[in-house]
């Protein structure tokens, strides 16, 4: 039984984060979200991940099953279990990569002990593009609200679960309609309304499904450049989309948190007051050389360790590479005074 797999699922799904706006905790340890035009409810015990699915058919189907934590996707036609495992990227041998990243980087080894499983969700590219446009100069609550409004206004109803209606994410063609901008502005989207309509229109112009599919086949840098043709998509957001939706797992989105992390590895960056294009690219290349083709995944773990939103999980994020050896004693005292594993686990489920 691979208990770490369950922890990996916990961190990527069972927490609200900036990376996933449509998952909500409906009760202790039980989460509900929408992907692939289905409503999913997930929960787990020590051995299994359980899931319940409601699909948008004329007679909505409902199934409840469990996945043992050691199973992996097979080659058979994709069913609900295969879809879920693909969404959680359970085919990626994360423990192996943790070991490799730890050997390459003592700071990663230090912080990863507190984050023994952070998985990147394999998210829908259309939903991710427009969700990130909504995220511009915004907070998580407002981003989630905007995404839900897009689904309510332009998506299709999937199912009603526990009295709540769930909707699919809109098709690009629906968002490309000229009337979209004014409606979204009246709904509080501000300048993002224009970016959403213009980006949708541009995607249709570029070939819609064929263009989106081709982004996964292109080299990472080329896919990033293509995404930056869209209104409201800069380098960081393009990297986020490449990393989370296009399987370009070497992409390194650089924001304030990542810039601060990079300064611990690259002290000369402390002289830089802003992240110029040159600095941005230098940071990406540094982490790609350090972690390899899955650099974006490794960087995400450092990002999680740095975020204050994850404060309820004990971390040692203030340590630099140079100070690790000198602070062993202090870290040991901190662990000694920290809550027990049982207490921490209960705290997570609140």
Q: What amino acid positions are annotated as catalytic residues?
A: 236
Nearest-angstrom CA–CA distance, 102 and 291:
9
Closest-CA residue to 91 (of 64, 120, 111): 120
The 3-class SS string of 208-223 reads: CHHHHHHHHHCCHHHH
Question: What is the Cα–Cα distance from 23 to 12, expressed in whole angstroms?
Answer: 10
Q: How far apart are CA 327 and CA 85, in angstroms?
A: 39
Q: Is 290 helix (H, G, I), strand (E, B) or coil?
A: helix
Cα 264–266–269 angle (5° rounding)?
A: 100
Q: How many helices (H) and strands (E) does the chain have?
A: 17, 7
Query: What sign for the dihedral angle of Cα 167, 179, 201, 223?
Result: negative
């Amino acid at each position: 039984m691979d208990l770490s797999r369950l922890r990996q699922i916990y961190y990527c799904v069972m927490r609200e984060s900036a990376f996933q706006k449509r998952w909500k905790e409906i009760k202790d340890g039980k989460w509900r979200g929408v992907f692939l035009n289905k409503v999913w409810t997930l929960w787990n015990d020590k051995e299994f991940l359980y899931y319940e699915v409601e699909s948008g058919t004329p007679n909505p189907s409902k199934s409840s099953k469990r996945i043992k934590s050691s199973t992996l996707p097979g080659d058979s036609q994709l069913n609900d279990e295969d879809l879920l495992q693909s969404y959680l990227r359970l085919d990626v041998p994360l423990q192996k990569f943790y070991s490799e990243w730890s050997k390459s980087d003592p700071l990663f080894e230090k912080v990863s002990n507190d984050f023994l499983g952070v998985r990147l969700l394999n998210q829908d590219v259309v939903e991710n593009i427009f969700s990130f446009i909504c995220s511009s100069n915004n907070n998580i609550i407002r981003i989630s609200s905007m995404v839900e409004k897009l689904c309510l206004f332009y998506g299709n109803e999937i199912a009603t679960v526990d009295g709540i209606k769930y909707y699919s994410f809109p098709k690009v063609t629906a968002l490309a309609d000229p009337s979209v901008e004014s409606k979204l502005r009246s709904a509080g989207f501000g300048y993002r309304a224009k970016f959403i309509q213009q980006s949708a229109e541009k995607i249709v112009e570029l070939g819609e499904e064929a263009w989106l599919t081709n982004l996964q086949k292109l080299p990472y840098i080329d896919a990033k450049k293509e995404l930056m043709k869209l209104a409201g998509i800069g380098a960081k957001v393009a990297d986020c989309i490449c990393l989370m939706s296009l399987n370009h797992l070497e992409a390194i989105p650089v924001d304030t948190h990542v810039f601060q992390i990079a300064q611990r590895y690259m002290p000369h960056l402390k002289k830089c007051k802003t992240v110029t294009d040159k600095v941005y690219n230098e940071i990406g290349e540094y982490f790609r050389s350090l972690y390899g083709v899955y650099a974006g995944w490794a960087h995400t773990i450092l990002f999680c360790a740095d975020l204050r939103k994850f404060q309820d999980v004990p971390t040692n994020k203030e340590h630099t590479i140079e100070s690790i050896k000198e602070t062993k004693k202090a870290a040991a005292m901190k662990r000694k005074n920290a809550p027990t594993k049982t207490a921490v686990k209960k705290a997570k489920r609140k």
